[in-house]
């Protein structure tokens, strides 16, 4: 559900100090970060079973962000800088209606794709392909979003493995889209395309 490296994570911890979390009171950056990512993961999991099913958990994650004192590194929800990969910006984007394609796609990818892969792999790949095309449009319309980073980092390997066995035209189409959409793994997708003799 989540494969994300938080590069702006600082905390103070002394050995044997208890790590306590309270939903209503800020108890420190470490406990808050653990709880924040737990709620994000649970929210993504619930979103994979029902449309917008994780909203209550994303609300809890957002509440944690609001309790963190101003100036704590990695927490602000200030979208002035699109490159500001903060926890606040992550949960804000997940819940922002501008990026609803992400949550709708997340649901369809899992329920109408992965969940039916065993019984009907052709339909599953078709549904997943539609999600990937919609995600690509989102990525084109809103460049450098955290929601696309979340999708790409969690799903790129899975998509490469699933579509590697698809018919050539379907396979190459998805690999080309992923190569464009997921720049960090573009080389891998290009290699898979070359392996199939695609130009």
Instruction: Say if residues 179 and 186 touch (Cβ distance below 8 Å).
Output: yes
| pLDDT for res 130 | 98
Q: Are residues 105 and 91 in the same domain?
A: no
CA distance 28 to 49: 32
- 121: its two tokens: 């792999």
Q: Are residues 68 and 122 in the same domain?
A: no
| pLDDT for res 84 | 79
Residue 9 has pLDDT above 90, yes or no: no
pTM for the whole thing?
0.91
CA distance 157 to 10: 29
| Residue reference for tokens 């929800």 | 77
DSSP string, 104-123: HHHHHHHHTTGGGTTT-HHH
pLDDT in tens, 107-156: 999 999 999 999 999 999 999 999 999 999 999 999 989 999 999 999 99
Residue 10 has pLDDT above 50, yes or no: yes
Instruction: Say if residues 198 and 163 touch (Cβ distance below 8 Å).
Output: no
Of 188 and 133, which is predicted with more confidence? 133
| Residue reference for tokens 């590069």 | 7
Which residues, 6+ apart, have CB-to-CB distance to 1 below 8 Å? 41, 44, 45, 48, 154
| pLDDT for res 49 | 95
| pLDDT for res 199 | 42
Q: Note down the domain range covering 112.
A: 100-195
Q: Specify the DSSP class assigned to residue 69.
A: P
| pLDDT for res 7 | 84
Q: Are residues 51 and 107 in the same domain?
A: no
Residue 22: strand pairing partners: 25
Residue 81 has pLDDT above 50, yes or no: no
CA distance 40 to 117: 25
Look at residues 49, 75, 95 and tell me which one is the last residue of a structural domain: 95
Q: Are residues 51 and 108 in the same domain?
A: no
Look at residues 54, 76, 95 and tell me which one is the last residue of a structural domain: 95
pLDDT in tens, 161-179: 999 889 999 999 999 999 9
Residue 64 has pLDDT above 90, yes or no: yes
pLDDT in tens, 15-61: 888 899 999 999 888 999 999 999 999 999 999 999 999 999 999 99
Q: Are residues 129 and 39 in the same domain?
A: no
Q: Are residues 107 and 187 in the same domain?
A: yes
Q: Percentage of the chain with pLDDT > 90?
A: 72
């Amino acid at each position: 559900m989540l494969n994300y490296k938080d590069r702006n994570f600082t905390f103070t911890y002394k050995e044997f100090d208890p790590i306590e979390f309270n939903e209503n009171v800020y108890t420190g950056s470490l406990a808050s970060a653990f709880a924040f990512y737990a709620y994000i993961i649970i929210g993504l999991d619930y979103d994979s079973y029902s449309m917008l099913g994780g909203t209550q958990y994303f609300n809890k994650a957002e509440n944690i962000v609001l309790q963190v004192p101003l100036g704590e590194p990695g927490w602000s929800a200030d979208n002035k800088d699109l490159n500001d990969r903060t926890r606040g910006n992550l949960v804000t984007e997940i819940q922002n209606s501008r990026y609803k394609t992400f949550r709708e796609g997340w649901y369809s990818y899992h329920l109408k794709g992965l969940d039916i892969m065993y019984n009907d792999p052709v339909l599953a790949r078709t549904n997943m392909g539609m999600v990937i095309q919609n995600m690509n449009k989102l990525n084109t319309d809103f460049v450098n979003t955290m929601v696309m980073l979340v999708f790409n980092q969690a799903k790129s390997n899975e998509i490469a493995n699933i579509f590697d066995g698809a018919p050539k035209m379907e396979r190459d189409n998805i690999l080309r889209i992923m190569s464009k959409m997921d720049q960090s793994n573009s080389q891998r997708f290009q290699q898979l395309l070359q392996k199939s003799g695609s130009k």
